[in-house]
Amino acid sequence: MSSSLIAIVGSADKKRTDYNPPLRNVERVHEAAESLGKELAQAGYNIVVYSSDPAFIEAAVVRGYVGSGKARAKSIQVRYPQVNNDGNVPFPEEATRPDVFDPRLDPNANWEVSFYASLREIDGIVLLGGARSAFVTGVLAQIFRIPLLAIATFGGSAQAVWALAGNALASEEDRNLMGMRAWGPDTSAKLVKCIEAQRTRLEEQASQQRRVAEAKRHESSKRAAIAGLLFLAAVALTAAGMFLPQKPLGFAGIFFAIPLLAGATGSVIRTILNARRGESYQGADATFVSIVLGMVAGLAAAILFALAQWASNPQIKDFSQGVPPTLSSLFPFMLLIGLVAGLTLELVYKKLQETDVTQVGPLSSPGAVRQ
């Protein structure tokens, strides 16, 4: 936990009138901030602060942090811009414990640039009181899923951020604690534990995402291997059908097997491409389903193609002298048609569903003349 960095954000200035909602329990704000600083130090967190101005909560947090006796060397980062900011005024504790401070001068002259840029490096935020900048900080924390303590007890922007209920890392118990109306002697310790609980949830979610991504990569590799084996088998049968003499029974087996294997190949490849585009992965069962759907689509498309060839070339229907040699030239087309049918099986099934099979009247002979 020694590398975890918690940003301290907020203010409680009685002279300001731009707090929305207004501050409340103002007399206890700095006491609470000092208590939080003590608990953060005891929990082993590093902190980042931006101003020693007593109107901001950083001064009280630093006082409690150093006063805990648990502050380590360079455990308090002080971020401030190059010019035009009071943040470069030393904290009183720097006179007695300079070793625990780690000043970080930012080259930006604008304090807002310096402040918001630092949020990229932090592991959590404590939000107490505060006005416009504090509210923006709280919203950014929720958008970028940064563990956040939006302490609504004292009003200000921290209460407004807490009311947004957008912190998906916080449990209902955490939210109830952050929204307590009264500040108790053990509130600070409980709140600091909330930070660790949120960080644990964030790590668990990240770990779960890594496991899901790894499972997807494994499933994609398995599907690619299956598609490769199916395609090699289809190509081998195509070559055998074209260059080896075939008897009618063997020809029929190859004739049906090629589009079945090619369609299954195309359908499995389609699932891989869909997954790479970010579409939902349905797991291992979808592989079998894709193979079956692809086989049916490939065979249906290939049969329609073969029927069209036989209808236009009656000579290839004569099997009295064995398998006609010209039929072997159909096999590469069967391979390609089956593959494309598997890749586009939605279109194939849509076309099949649109086919009207309710016309049961007699077929006209090819030479008939319409009257």
- What is the residue extent of each domain of the chain? 5-185, 209-354
How confident is the chain (371 residues) per 10-residue block, as mean pLDDT? 83 91 92 97 95 93 96 93 64 95 84 85 95 94 94 96 90 94 93 94 93 88 92 92 76 88 92 78 69 90 81 62 68 90 78 61 47 41
pLDDT on residue 370: 43
What number of other Cβ atoms are within 10 A of residue 289's Cβ?
A: 12
CATH of 5-185, one of 3.40.50.450, 3.30.930.10, 3.40.1190.20, 3.40.50.1100: 3.40.50.450
CA dist 369 → 87, 90, 314, 364 (Å): 98, 105, 21, 9
Distance between the two ends of the chain, CA-based, in angstroms? Answer: 92
d(CA 49, CA 80): 9
Residue 105 zone, left/alpha/beta (φ > 0; ψ -120 to 50; rest)? beta
Residue 283 zone, left/alpha/beta (φ > 0; ψ -120 to 50; rest)? left
Residue 217 structure tokens: 């990569």
Q: Give, as one character, the DSSP assignment of residue 362.
A: P
d(CA 6, CA 9): 10
Q: What values do phi and psi take at 108, rounded to 5?
A: -75, 135
